[in-house]
Structure 1
């Protein structure tokens, strides 16, 4: 069977490939939305107010356009002290557009500004990833979940670092660590490291995206 792994983020793609590549031994192919394919597709509008809702919109939209079974992701970070924000707006929290080199620092700076004065004990947060699978239209594939989109959720608990914990307190939005992307340099795990200080394989084993992928494979292989 041929499945389409739908994401426009090279970082998410690398993480999903790393996890699903090991777990999805029974899948013939995990294809991606490469540049050539994406040019002929219309990106589904992500206007739901939950990760589940947006993942379903993407999976269903791409399945209808491509005639393929699609796995789509929606993910982000929820911070307790600010009512679960940024949530589904994690990627566009600051309003800055462009490359990740511009967007990520702006998002991180806004998050730290929002948490100014919030003590360590109230900086709890979690990464959330929802994977949605929508079967190819008319597919009789026994592994597909049927006409209804299947969703699975993975989470990783942690907290947001204090500015004083950054590698350079004069640049707190840079956080700590050079691996990862997005809010990883600000996301402190229970062992005191940030997600950006993990090696890729270690992150795959711990991450919200890895947890969701393993849950998905468990559901499909029942």
Structure 2
């Protein structure tokens, strides 16, 4: 029995990023919820004008819920690098440009780190669930680690090939999906969502 309840067996994932949609769907669908992406629902993404991951996630979730008339789940996440003052941060996707060239984005991270002695980094995720009536709830997750170079692995997406989580010897790009789900920033945020909405720990 849910603690708060989704109130629907249908959920729109407010993203046009196939990697994000796939990861979130794999976390949600075991609960018997029918998932569709913003693209499948014919929903355009709003301009991300927020100053934080949480604000941008809320913008996208509210927009999708309003257009679809059902609950919507939005993710805003990115890579924060200590020596770069937290960049690329909320601009992580923009560093990849209009063509979503994350190889170029990873090259930029490496180039801007240059001879920095500290390659500490973190992946941060904010998930927002919004309902058509305007209600919303936000959950945040974070996993710390280190930038590695050159990129390693062809699994995952985005900056995964250059991020090695603390306590692990391989990058997110080298991890099997289930292994990444167990420790990722998105999974940590999702576990908070599950505890709040469904009244359990997501196990």
The interval holding the TM-score normalised by the smaller chain is: 0.7 to 0.9
Q: TM-score by structure 1 length?
A: 0.80
After the TM superposition, which residues 72-87 of structure 1 pair with which residues of structure 2 at under 5 Å, given as runs?
72-87=74-89
Question: 1:36-65: per-residue Cα shift (whole Å, max 9, x none)?
Answer: x32xx3321111110000000001111122
Counterpart of 1:20 in 2: which secondary structure? helix
- Contact kept? 2:143, 2:185, Cα under 8 Å: yes
Question: C-alpha distance in 2, partners of 1:32/1:61?
Answer: 13
Q: Which residue of 1 aligns with 2:98?
A: 97
Question: 1:155-214: per-residue Cα shift (whole Å, max 9, x none)?
Answer: 1110111x4xx3xxxxxxxx1111111111110122221111101111111111111111
Question: C-alpha distance in 1, partners of 2:153/2:66?
Answer: 40
The alignment status of 1:200 with 2:177, answered yes or no, reads yes
**Largest Rg, 1 or 2:** 1
Gaps of 5+ in 1: 138-146, 167-174
After the TM superposition, which residues 1-222 of structure 1 pair with which residues of structure 2 at under 5 Å, given as runs?
1=8, 2-22=10-30, 24-25=31-32, 27=33, 29-35=34-40, 37-38=41-42, 41-93=43-95, 96-98=97-99, 100=100, 103-119=101-117, 122-137=118-133, 147-161=134-148, 163=149, 166=150, 175-190=151-166, 191-222=168-199
Question: C-alpha distance in 2, partners of 1:197/1:4?
Answer: 29
Q: Which residue of 1 aligns with 2:5?
A: none
Q: Which residue of 2 aligns with 1:142?
A: none
Q: CA deviation at 1:107?
A: 0.5
Q: CA deviation at 1:7?
A: 1.2
Question: 1:96-129: per-residue Cα shift (whole Å, max 9, x none)?
Answer: 321x4xx11110011001100012xx11111011
Counterpart of 2:93 in 1: which secondary structure? helix
Q: CA deviation at 1:215?
A: 1.1
Q: TM-score by structure 2 length?
A: 0.88
- Contact kept? 1:68, 1:136, Cα under 8 Å: yes
Gaps of 5+ in 2: 1-7
Runs of at least 4 residues off by over 4 Å: none
**Count of aligned pairs between the two proteins:** 190
